[in-house]
Structure 1
Amino acid sequence: MSNHNIIDTLIQNISDDQQLLETADEKIEQAKEEKRAIINRIKDYQKDATAMMKYANDEQIQKLEALNLDLSESKQGLNSVATTAFDIMLSSKKKTMTNENLYKAYVDTLDDKEKAVSYTAFNIKCRPLFNNQRLLRKEGSDPKSSRTSIISVNGSSASVVKKETSEKK
């Protein structure tokens, strides 16, 4: 009869531990979800901080740098189309051109022109350059067409020169 009690106890212990394991797994999954949400918020803050660095004073910059975020203005995280477009803008003499000319210059960089993304896809892939304020966009001669928009490198003197174009509305 004592064998029967030992087996029953073993069965109960296994059953209890299986339930504990299930509960622990649920807690782990919940913690992973919370971690993912926090990581995503930190990534968003990092993007915001990168864009806002130019407006920060020295003390604020030191505090941001102390948080060990990657706040470099590098091309890290940009897709190949945006990287190419940014390189084209940086290498242009005036640091400014129309959106259509920027697209044409992008296509010209490709050995196989058939591999070029469409004009619409090009604009979508270049959005991070504007979101991060590496490039600025001003309305061109035709407000209904993005092709005439004036694109300039942020901080270049050319962006001031082209200001008159957007004031002729």
Structure 2
Amino acid sequence: MVKYGCDERDIYKEKVSGSKRDREQLNAVLDLLREGDKLVVWRLDRLARSQRDLLEISDLINSKGAELVSLMDSIDTSTATGKLLFSILGSLSEFEKNLLVERTMAGQKIARENGVVFGRPTKLTDDLIKHIQHAYKDPTVTVAATLKHLNISKSSYYNALKM
């Protein structure tokens, strides 16, 4: 970072994921760019997660007369080779992200076929549903008393009555 003239006050740290397009710190640094500046990033995948966003950000940087430098990817878009590497690595990053999504979805499909249930476990067991329905039929038992006794929410109570 020192090589590019960066010091602590020049570093912008984003707390939002790189997959989000509208990021406060990114927008702030892009607004500050002037002709001859270099935007130095740690890695391209920290800047954007899709090739489209990466190219849009790069075009914006270029339109301001600035350049993009990625430290870990050894890319400097002020050179022809850097521009080529930028495009290739951007495409590879997006490809990697898409593969991860495909693998995750395939794994979830196989898990569902093998009986795995995703999400929060249901609180309403058959036994609990019977208790709720029995309490509902008893006119001396209030809804509030049932909720407190069974330690359930009002929505769980009414969902059980629908079953």
Could you tell me the TM-score, scaled by structure 1's length? Answer: 0.22
Could you tell me the TM-score, scaled by structure 2's length? Answer: 0.23
Report the structure, 1 or 2, having the larger helix content.
1
